[in-house]
Structure 1
Amino acid sequence: MPNSSSISEFLLLALADTRQLQLLHFWLFLGIYLAALLGNGLISTAVACDQRLHTPMDFFLLNLALLDLGCISTTLPKTMANALWDTRAISYAGCAAQVFFLLFFFGAEYSLLTVMAYDHFVAICKPLHYGTLLGSRACVTMAAAAWGSGFLFSLLHTVPGQCCGPIFL
């Protein structure tokens, strides 16, 4: 029988040792999470519902709000659950999923911020060509490329044997 072991879960470092501080962290993180959900939800709703906000800049802002929702929803619910229930364990699969999605959302967000910088460049430096350079098809293609690059970034940087690097939980 070979000598082998497998990792089924990890223990996370606690933010605080006392129960009162853990509950304070829970309420603080809950407030931050709800504020982020409300703010990004309002941005998404406003851009989706108002016809005047169907410009390329607002389309990219909608995508950025969705990516921000994904970023904060990747780690904060587990952090709040650990603080509320006084636990420190995370499964190996849960850790791998958190790392994958965190890298996905951050990679896509950085790519989308680059696309938004290009949008601003065209609006400032080539205002007469703005409509032809950034039509609806070009905007959708650039946003899809940003999301796709985030996916590729997370695929390339999530190594199966070393999935739980420096993440904040």
Structure 2
Amino acid sequence: MTLIGCIIQFCMFLTAEFSESFLLSVMSYDRYVAICNPLHYPSIMTYRFCVTSVNVIWLVASLVMSVYAILIYNLYFCGPHIIDHFYCDLEPILQLSCSDISTIHRQNLITGFFTGFCPFSVIVMSYVYIVITILKIPSNTGRRKAFSTCSSHLTVVSILFGTLMTVYMSPTSGRSLILNKFLSVIYTVLTPLLNPIIYTLRNKDFKEAFRKI
């Protein structure tokens, strides 16, 4: 694989991960409005708002990806040109460089805060208000129904952010390459594979088709 090909592969993956992180935060806001301000839901979560949100998310993710692409392309790689991984992730690429990578590490911390911590904070705050509102519902049936509308989203958030934090925020010195690869498989393969299943589990047509199978 050429350097350009490796950068393109990494940036496509990065764009998808950043976009999903922001989309999950918008979805948590959607659940917040639906449960905490149900009468204002049609006027807030309009079609225009949804389309604008998606366009802004993809634009921001593409801009961040472009910064990474420029920084990596300007590095000097003196060899060996072998990545001990199944795809071009940031750390395996940086390990092959003979240049000063401190700038990229600083950029990575800033980007991680903006694209990881901020969306996760929005999700946490949304669910704090959601839980407070649900606990005020007098009937158990009403509380159970309100919680069930958030179950799919919470499951996806737990899987995605749980694995990403384990890989990128935990110390790497004591972890083996095999474990790193295994954890990478979870958020690159397993999470996207489970997403459509998780989101359709509450769909009646899906359940009926599954029972027939």
Give the TM-score, by structure 1 length. Answer: 0.41
Give the TM-score, by structure 2 length. Answer: 0.35
